Amino acid sequence: MIKQLDLENCADTMVGSTLEKGISGGEKRRTSIGIELLTNPPVIFLDEPTSGLDSHTAKKIIQLL
């Protein structure tokens, strides 16, 4: 899943919080999508999963979904 979502470069980085810097916003979005997909749900609801992502990453997300 990490490879499919192109998250190899931040695999060992903390996600972060409002007080501690972590991964970028796009990486957070892809991480949350990956977490949901790992559970193999019968249905998944995503609210604008590609907003804020560059076109290449957005295309990869849609292809994965």
> Which domain range does residue 40 map to?
8-64
Q: Is residue 16 in a domain?
A: yes
Taken in order 51, 52, 55, 59, is the CA torsion positive or negative? negative
Q: Considering the entire predicted model, what is its pTM? A: 0.81
Q: Is residue 14 part of a domain?
A: yes
Q: What share of the chain is helix, strand, coil (3-state, %, to 5)?
A: 40, 0, 60
50 — pLDDT class (breaks 50, 70, 90): confident
pLDDT in tens, 11-28: 999 998 888 889 988 899
Is residue 2, in this structure, part of any structural domain at all? no
Band of residue 2 on the pLDDT scale cut at 50, 70, 90: very high
| Domain assignment of residue 1, yes or no | no
Count of Cβ atoms closer than 10 Å to residue 25 Cβ: 9
Residue 44 in domain: yes
Q: Provide the number of structural domains found in the chain.
A: 1
Residue 18 lies inside a defined structural domain of this protein = yes
